[in-house]
Amino acid sequence: MSARRPPRPRAARGGGPRWSSSAAAAAGRWPTRDRRPRQLPPGCRVPGARHEVRAQLARGGGGGAAAAGAGAGAAARAATRARAAPGRGPVSWAAGAGGAGARAAAGRGGQRRGGAARSKSRRRKGAASASVEPHRHEGVFLYRGAEDALVTLNMVPGQSVYGERRLTVTAGGVKQEYRAWNPFRSKLAAAILGGVDQIHIKPKSKVLYLGAASGTTVSHVSDIIGPDGLVYAVEFSHRAGRDLVNVAKKRTNIIPVLEDARHPLKYRMLIGMVDVIFADVAQPDQSRIVALNAHTFLRNGGHFLISIKANCIDSTASAEAVFASEVRKLQQENLKPQEQLTLEPYERDHAVVVGVYRPLPKSGGK
């Protein structure tokens, strides 16, 4: 067994001798690995001069003739030259009006306002110019401000339901809070922005909402109908039903019903006659579901709105063919469609059908 080889000296391994600061100072230069200047002129203390300039400016001094046009950096260089040649006299720090010293004393960016102040000013200006206009659908409003939005008057001020924006507008010395209505998360909002002629949901209405989910659109319907109206929210999923119940705890005009909308007789003792049915169930037999609930709860001459998702009914047929087929099914159940509207660009292959149930005969005048 051969003996172990002795380790090579550091110089042989290529590491070279270790540099020390004392050795570098004695040699009059600094090693390359320290990334410092190789040689400093005698008596030159640039960092000290800069600190002295900053201290003088902090005490309220301005910029002198030597530093008036070039700022604090030029003043530091002037102080360095004064140290290198002490016979030239002291450096003057007298500030001229609006000179560089005054700008430096004001801090980074000079006398200009900071970004936070500018953004705060823009917010105040946007809030002052914001206004709310009533939409042609009663209970719905248009917010005009930095960004226009479809809004409803918040029935529970200070509370949001799904993280939506809350917008406060002062009119006539009275502050009112509105909630932004996102059309990408609500079929009813998409239909309103799409130009639907009638939604038949207005203050004091009684609404049966099928497929309420977690209460996103239901909360806006609650805002529209106000405290004198009622919305019966039917949802079969227990997970979404928990969120719906939490929303109903803060809104007294929402009555959550955790049942299957296919069996309206199971909850007939909880719901009275209603004025409007809104259905967003996304099931292949959704026309039958709407018809069963209309026969049980919708008054004669009442209205319905149904959101149709073509892919949930027949993914092999075109969307137009699916919509036409659903309209025929509704007509067979005494549900008379009056309007059909697609929901592009908010939803793809979706349509809203608005109609009347058992229309009342028109009274002819003499």
pLDDT digits (tens, 9 = 90+) for 292-350: 999 999 999 999 999 999 999 998 999 999 999 999 999 999 999 999 999 999 999 99
pLDDT level of residue 361 (50, 70, 90 thresholds): confident
Check: CB of residue 34 under 8 Å from CB of residue 73. no
Residue 89 has pLDDT above 70, yes or no: no
pLDDT digits (tens, 9 = 90+) for 191-250: 999 999 999 999 999 999 999 999 999 999 999 999 999 999 999 999 999 999 999 999
CATH 3.40.50.150, applies to 187-357? yes
Q: How far apart are CA 8 and CA 23, in angstroms?
A: 24
Phi/psi at 57 (5° precision): -65, -35
Check: CB of residue 176 under 8 Å from CB of residue 169. yes
Buried b (16+ CB within 10 A) or exposed e, 125-161: eeeeebebeeeebebbbebeeeeebbbbbbbbeeeeb
The domain locations on the chain are: 56-106, 127-180, 187-357
Q: Which residue is it, tokens 């949901």?
A: 201
Q: In the chain, which residue ranges form alpha helices assigned H by DSSP?
A: 21-27, 46-58, 71-84, 100-105, 115-129, 187-194, 216-225, 238-250, 286-297, 310-313, 319-331
Q: Work out the number of other CB atoms within 10 angstroms of the CB of residue 282.
A: 15
Equal fold, 127-180 vs 187-357: no
Report pLDDT for 67: 42
Q: How high is the mean pLDDT of the chain?
A: 78
Q: What percent of the chain has pLDDT over 70?
A: 64
DSSP assignment string, 322-343:
HHHHHHHHHHTTTEEEEEEEE-
Report pLDDT for 36: 52
pLDDT digits (tens, 9 = 90+) for 178-199: 999 999 999 999 999 999 999 9
Task: Give, in order, the Cα–Cα distances in Å from 56 to each of 59, 74, 100, 250.
Answer: 5, 14, 14, 61
Q: Which residue is it, tokens 């709860």?
A: 297
| Two tokens, residue 110 | 């000079």
Task: Give, in order, the Cα–Cα distances in Å from 153 to each of 117, 150, 283.
Answer: 31, 10, 32
Q: How far apart are CA 217 and CA 243, in angstroms?
A: 13
Of residues 54 and 124, more confidence is placed in 54
pLDDT digits (tens, 9 = 90+) for 65-88: 444 444 555 555 655 555 555 544
Of residues 94 and 56, more confidence is placed in 56
Residue 283 contacts by C-beta under 8 Å, 6 or more apart in sequence? Answer: 289, 312
Residue 161 has pLDDT above 50, yes or no: yes
Report pLDDT for 309: 93
User: CATH fold of 127-180, please?
Assistant: Phosphorylase Kinase; domain 1 (3.30.200)
Q: What percent of the chain has pLDDT over 90?
A: 57
Beta pairing, strands 335-342 & 230-234: unpaired
